[in-house]
């Protein structure tokens, strides 16, 4: 080697002297030398310049070669390694030490099964036995793949190169390191037999989780020595060295590991190491992995999340051996609270709801920093895939995605006061039917968006998404940190109900923007990374972006924190309610109960919980909605975490006013005018008083009648039927109007207000208006000749009977054509003869509700003048019986089980339906529907069949009767024990 060194140094000296001589000659030429250059001289200059570059390159390469360490010393040397330490946000709690307890057991090549050797060679270096330490064809192929952006099945480095890099060099990507690696590989291949090189490689390389060498990896992942491994297990170990952290069986990418295993087996079959039958058998083998060791690791899912980030950024070798000091964002006190909250409810979820796993993630919305992460209930429970991190997994969010859609709709001009109709609607436009249902199967008619979002109603939510726009909603979700919606064209209106995959970590990040008044901070788990010398490699810095107007987020927070608004669906004391704190929260449940979500926030902290099964093809039991399986975990975490922060409240929103009906909350557009009841024309002074009546015209339409969804604040559409969804929405609304005709008794529904006047007289006061209202107790033309008063009942008289007689005093009595009698504005009688009195029955609704009411009269004179009078009365009618509902105690606990409820003091025509419910004893916040009875099974009795057992335990059952007037009556509660 010394002779080579001297020759290289002599060559460098000769080149230097020669190059210097010609340079001096050129510099001393006369100033006009350029004009006298010939092509021959130019060629000579270029040639000498190229020769100089080549010589310098050779000199540089030679220098690298002669400064290489002695290969014999390297083979026997022990590499120096430093551990990477991961800390919590204080820098004092050590979460994990990577390589701090490095595991390695050297075994001879004879103890390593041929399948393991062949699997490694097949995927890492198929020319291992024929190359000289370098495989130039593989190098060229790797360069081509890098340039073309393809996927490489095998690496460009040989096994010999990989051993040299791992054992003696660094993972630094540099030209110098690659040259040194090539020289050492060539020298090692010349010095050692292939079998020894393979043995060194298999005992040296990292397999992840602090396992170095194939023996330690076998013990780590399979719990047995390498000599006991079969083909399938060998192919798994051969899959790891390319990216040990990513492919780790203890990580979240096991499906990717299995895909790579299939590739390894395929390459082995192609290269003749195994047969096609052996490949198929190994592909189909059910692998059993050992339990990951729990020693010296805190917050394991978070630690592995951080480690994966570090490996991607700094390389496997730097993380395993580089001595990094990593200060994370994790709050150890909050992590302990999160671990306990999940553990406290895991057993019950598994027992009662068939939910084998839960995940929790908490974040500081004002920084985007992760404070706590629980990826599964037990990281070390291998039988339940405990190492799987569900906070990073794609899952459907159910209704927890709705607030993002509502925020986009509010941005376009809707508000919590806006009204839409909750009616059965087919949203199909010339294609497949899409008819979503609300959770309880009911239809509520007109509802505000506050009510719709708080109660998590599905049909209104789909309408809100249509108005907001699918692409707009996806764009907002992307701005808020959700990156899983790759192709917006793949999504339809079901997106608002959770029809697109998201990740818990990204949903929590998105809700953080609601907590901060519209400011989004990217998710971060790192505060600082230092190398082994103390040099700071990276440091957290704020990178905020405004994604929503502050008032829009105030509107969302106002709705999601409105416990009264959500109480009709969830109850007043649900898991979403935390006494003493204003907390915004939303649940989500997917079809067939595969996913249960609860996400909520204050201005200080945002947290989300997912519950279900890691194998998401397996659903939970029926009724396992988000508030039941995820809500209690979220509630426990927030209840203990909130006292650690200053108590804060949300800023009340300013809800803008709009000139559009329904956008402002006015779903019933009412106009009252006096008309001639005989011909329908607007009444005038020439209309006979007997024919004059106040008639109310009402408009009831779907919201698309009043707005253009692409310009909500713009003018009302001149032809709303052009919207492709108009008729889909309008028809159910008109059906609802017909079904509730009693609410519009005496009104003209969706009829034009008359514009023509009756006869030749002058219009009566208030006639012909549009949009205003006139009361029948208000005179339309003040009389100058007639005076009227009510003599009985007297002002503020208490009425104790269901009928009442009204007497009057009218002067002059002989100048009266007709007297009309009204109760709370409704005509209840007329009189055309002295003494002008009337007896009528008090309407049933008023009779059943004690309180103040108005009796009024309208007197029509012979000279077309009108006089009015009114009195206030109080109804207090004893003996009226309120409807009641009695639930019979269950006479069995065998399923299917029949439940019966008997209605009293009400007839079948007054009952819409009777709903039956149950909840676990002592847990009234976990109410589940059983079913609905809409017809009588016998006299005044309603039955329902309870099909599926809720599981062993004590439960409470009850029923609710829904009356035609919109009121509800709850039955008594009965206990039932299910064995």
* Residue 902 CA to its chain's centroid (Å): 42
The whole-angstrom separation of Cα 691 and Cα 635 is: 65
The whole-angstrom separation of Cα 928 and Cα 919 is: 6
> Residue range 821-837: average pLDDT?
81
Quote the tokens at residue 701. Answer: 């339409």
CB count within 10 Å of CB 58 equals 14
Would the CA dihedral through 734, 739, 744, 745 be positive or negative?
positive
pLDDT (tens digit per residue) in 348-394: 999 999 999 999 999 999 999 999 999 999 998 878 888 899 999 99
Q: Residue 917's closest CA among 682, 638, 601, 569?
A: 569
> Residue range 776-782: average pLDDT?
36
Q: Phi, psi (5° rounding) for residue 680?
A: 80, 5
Does residue 36 register a pLDDT over 70? no
How confident is the model at residue 456, as a pLDDT? 95
How confident is the model at residue 70, as a pLDDT? 62
Residue pair 925/570 in contact by the 8 Å Cβ criterion: yes
Q: Residue 631's closest CA among 922, 354, 926?
A: 926
Work out the burial of residue 48: count CB atoms within 10 Å of its CB; fewer than 13 is exposed, 13-18 middle, 19 or more buried: middle
**Confidence at 31, pLDDT banded by 50, 70, 90:** very low
Q: Residue 606's closest CA among 397, 394, 371, 377?
A: 371
How confident is the model at residue 150, as a pLDDT? 46
The whole-angstrom separation of Cα 364 and Cα 329 is: 10
Report the chain's terminal Cα–Cα distance, integer Å. 86
Residue pair 731/424 in contact by the 8 Å Cβ criterion: no
The whole-angstrom separation of Cα 207 and Cα 220 is: 9
Does residue 16 register a pLDDT over 70? no
**Confidence at 171, pLDDT banded by 50, 70, 90:** low
The whole-angstrom separation of Cα 606 and Cα 511 is: 7
Does residue 625 register a pLDDT over 70? yes
Work out the burial of residue 105: count CB atoms within 10 Å of its CB; fewer than 13 is exposed, 13-18 middle, 19 or more buried: middle
> Residue range 176-182: average pLDDT?
70
SS (H, E, C) 266-319: HHHHHCCCCCHHHHHHHHHCCCCCCCCCCCCCCCHHHHHHHHHHHHHHHCHHHH
Q: Which helix (H) or strand (E) holds 233?
A: helix 231-239
Q: What is the dihedral of CA 449, 453, 457, 460, to 10 degrees?
A: 40
Q: Out of 128-132, 640-644, 850-854, which region has the weakest mean confidence (pLDDT)?
A: 850-854
Residue pair 448/417 in contact by the 8 Å Cβ criterion: yes
How confident is the model at residue 953, as a pLDDT? 85
How confident is the model at residue 825, as a pLDDT? 73
To the nearest whole number, what is the mean pLDDT of the chain? 84
**DSSP class of 524:** B
Q: Out of 37-41, 116-120, 467-471, 907-911, which region has the weakest mean confidence (pLDDT)?
A: 37-41
How confident is the model at residue 608, as a pLDDT? 98
* Residue 228 three-state SS: helix
Residue owning tokens 């010349």? 190
Using CA atoms, how far residue 230 sits from 226, 261, 281, in Å, is: 9, 13, 11
The whole-angstrom separation of Cα 405 and Cα 588 is: 14
Q: Which helix (H) or strand (E) holds 552?
A: helix 550-560
How confident is the model at residue 51, as a pLDDT? 63
The whole-angstrom separation of Cα 370 and Cα 431 is: 44
Q: Out of 455-464, 601-610, 705-714, 842-851, which region has the weakest mean confidence (pLDDT)?
A: 842-851
Does residue 935 register a pLDDT over 60? yes
How confident is the model at residue 813, as a pLDDT? 82
pLDDT (tens digit per residue) in 712-763: 988 899 999 999 999 999 999 999 999 998 888 888 899 889 989 988 777 7
* Residue 498 three-state SS: coil
β-partners of residue 787 are: 811
User: DSSP string covering 698-730, please?
Assistant: EE---GGGT-BTTBTTSPPPS-GGGSTTHHHHH
How confident is the model at residue 922, as a pLDDT? 80
> Residue range 968-977: average pLDDT?
89
Q: Out of 582-586, 754-758, 802-806, 902-906, which region has the weakest mean confidence (pLDDT)?
A: 902-906
User: Per-residue b/e over 343-363, b at no fewer than 16 CB within 10 Å?
Assistant: eebbeebbebbbbbbbbbbbb
> Residue range 331-359: average pLDDT?
95
Does residue 266 register a pLDDT over 90? yes
How confident is the model at residue 862, as a pLDDT? 76
The whole-angstrom separation of Cα 91 and Cα 326 is: 8
> Residue range 926-935: average pLDDT?
81
| Entry pTM | 0.65
179 versus 625: the higher-pLDDT residue is: 625
* Residue 174 CA to its chain's centroid (Å): 43
How confident is the model at residue 292, as a pLDDT? 75
Does residue 64 register a pLDDT over 70? no
Using CA atoms, how far residue 529 sits from 84, 310, 328, 330, in Å, is: 10, 9, 9, 14
Does residue 23 register a pLDDT over 70? no
Q: In what order do the strands lie in the sheet with 692-699?
A: 669-676, 692-699, 747-749
Would the CA dihedral through 790, 792, 796, 799 be positive or negative?
negative
CB count within 10 Å of CB 322 equals 22
> Residue range 57-74: average pLDDT?
55
> Residue range 593-597: average pLDDT?
94
pLDDT (tens digit per residue) in 530-546: 998 899 999 999 999 99
> Residue range 268-281: average pLDDT?
96
Residue 804 has, within 13 A of its CA and on its CB side, a CA count of 30
């Amino acid at each position: 080697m010394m002779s080579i060194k001297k020759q290289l140094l002599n060559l460098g000296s000769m080149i230097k002297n020669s190059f210097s001589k010609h340079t001096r000659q050129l510099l001393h030429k006369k100033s006009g030398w350029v004009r006298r250059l010939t092509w021959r001289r130019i060629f000579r200059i270029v040639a000498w310049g190229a020769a100089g570059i080549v010589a310098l390159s050779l000199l540089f390469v030679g220098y690298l070669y002669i400064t290489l360490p002695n290969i014999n010393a390297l083979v026997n040397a022990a590499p120096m390694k430093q551990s990477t330490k991961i800390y919590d946000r204080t820098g004092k709690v050590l979460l994990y030490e990577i390589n701090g307890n490095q595991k390695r057991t050297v075994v001879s090549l004879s103890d390593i099964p041929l399948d393991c050797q062949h699997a490694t060679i097949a995927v890492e270096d198929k020319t291992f036995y024929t190359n000289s330490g370098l495989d130039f064809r593989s190098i060229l192929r790797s360069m081509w793949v890098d340039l073309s952006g393809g996927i490489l099945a095998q690496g460009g480095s040989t096994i010999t190169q990989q051993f040299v890099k791992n054992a003696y060099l660094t993972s630094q990507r540099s030209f110098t390191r690659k040259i040194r690696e090539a020289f050492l590989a060539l020298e090692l291949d010349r010095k050692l037999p292939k079998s020894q090189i393979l043995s060194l490689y298999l005992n040296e390389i990292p397999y992840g989780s602090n396992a170095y060498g194939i023996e330690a990896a076998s013990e780590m992942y399979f719990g047995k020595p390498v000599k006991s491994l079969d083909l399938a297990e060998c192919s798994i170990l051969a899959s790891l060295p390319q990216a040990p952290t990513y492919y780790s069986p203890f990580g979240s990418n096991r499906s990717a590991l299995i895909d790579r295993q299939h590739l390894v087996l395929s390459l082995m079959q192609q290269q003749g190491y195994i047969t096609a039958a052996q490949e198929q058998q190994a592909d189909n083998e059910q692998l059993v992995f050992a339990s990951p060791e729990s020693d010296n690791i805190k917050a394991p899912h978070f630690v592995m999340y951080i480690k994966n980030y570090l490996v991607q950024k700094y390389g496997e070798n730097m993380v395993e051996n580089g001595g990094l000091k990593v200060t994370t964002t994790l709050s150890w006190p909050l992590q302990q609270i999160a671990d306990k909250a999940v553990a406290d409810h895991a057993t019950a979820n598994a027992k009662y709801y068939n939910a084998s796993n839960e995940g929790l993630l908490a974040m500081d919305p004002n920084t985007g920093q992760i404070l706590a992460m629980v990826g599964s209930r037990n990281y070390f429970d291998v039988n339940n895939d405990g190492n799987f991190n569900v906070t990073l997994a794609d899952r459907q969010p159910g209704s927890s995605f709705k607030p993002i859609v509502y925020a986009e709709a509010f941005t376009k001009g809707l508000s919590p006061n806006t009204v839409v109709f909750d009616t059965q609607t087919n949203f199909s436009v010339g294609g497949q039917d899409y008819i979503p249902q609300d959770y309880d199967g009911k239809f509520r008619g007109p509802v505000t968006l506050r009510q719709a979002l708080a109660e998590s109603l599905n049909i209104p939510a789909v309408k809100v998404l249509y108005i907001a726009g699918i692409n707009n909603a996806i764009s907002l979700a992307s701005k808020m940190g959700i990156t899983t919606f790759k192709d917006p064209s793949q999504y339809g209106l079901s997106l608002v109900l959770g029809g697109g995959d998201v990740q818990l970590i990204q949903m929590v990040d998105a809700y953080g923007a609601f907590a901060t008044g519209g400011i989004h901070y990217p998710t971060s788990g790192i505060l600082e990374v230092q190398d082994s010398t103390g040099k700071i490699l990276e440091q957290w810095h704020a990178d905020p972006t405004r994604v929503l107007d502050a008032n829009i987020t105030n509107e969302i927070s106002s709705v999601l924190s409105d416990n009264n608004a959500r109480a009709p669906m969830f109850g007043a004391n649900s898991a979403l309610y935390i006494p003493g704190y204003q907390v915004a929260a939303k649940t989500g449940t997917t079809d067939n109960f595969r996913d249960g979500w609860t996400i909520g926030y204050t201005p200080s902290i945002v947290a989300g919980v997912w519950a279900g099964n890691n194998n998401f093809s397996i659903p939970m039991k029926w009724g396992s909605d988000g508030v039941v399986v995820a809500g209690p975990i979220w509630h426990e975490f927030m209840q203990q975490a909130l006292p650690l922060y200053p108590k804060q409240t949300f800023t009340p929103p300013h809800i803008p006013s709009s000139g559009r009906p329904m956008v402002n909350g006015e779903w019933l557009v009412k106009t009252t005018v006096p008309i001639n009841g005989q011909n329908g024309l607007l009444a005038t002074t020439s209309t006979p008083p007997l024919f004059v009546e106040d008639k109310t015209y009402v408009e009831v339409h779907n919201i698309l009648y009043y707005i253009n969804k692409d310009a909500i604040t713009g003018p009302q559409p001149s032809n709303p039927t052009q919207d492709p969804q108009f008729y889909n929405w309008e028809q159910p609304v008109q059906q609802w109007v017909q079904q509730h005709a009693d609410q519009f008794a005496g009104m003209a529904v969706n009829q034009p207000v008359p514009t023509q006047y009756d006869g030749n007289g002058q219009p009566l006061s208030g006639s012909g208006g549009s949009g205003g209202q006139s009361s029948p107790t208000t005179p339309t033309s003040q009389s100058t000749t007639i005076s009227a008063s009510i003599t009985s009942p007297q002002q503020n008289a208490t009425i104790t009977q269901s009928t009442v007689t009204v007497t009057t005093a009218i002067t002059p009595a002989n100048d009266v054509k007709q007297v009309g009698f009204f109760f709370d504005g409704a005509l209840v009688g007329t009189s055309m003869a002295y003494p002008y009195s009337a007896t009528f029955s008090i309407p049933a609704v008023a009779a059943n509700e004690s309180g103040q009411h108005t009796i009024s009269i309208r007197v029509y004179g012979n000279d077309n003048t009108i006089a009015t009078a009114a009195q206030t009365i109080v109804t207090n009618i004893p003996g009226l019986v309120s409807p009641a509902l009695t639930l019979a105690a269950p006479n069995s606990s065998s399923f299917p089980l029949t439940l019966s409820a008997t209605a009293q003091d009400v007839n079948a025509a007054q009952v819409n339906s009777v709903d039956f419910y149950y909840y676990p004893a002592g847990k009234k916040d976990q109410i589940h529907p059983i079913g609905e009875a809409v017809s009588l099974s016998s006299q005044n009795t309603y039955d329902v069949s309870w099909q599926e057992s809720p599981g062993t335990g004590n439960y409470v059952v009850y029923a609710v009767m829904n009356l035609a007037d919109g009121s509800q009556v709850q039955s008594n509660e009965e206990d039932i024990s299910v064995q």
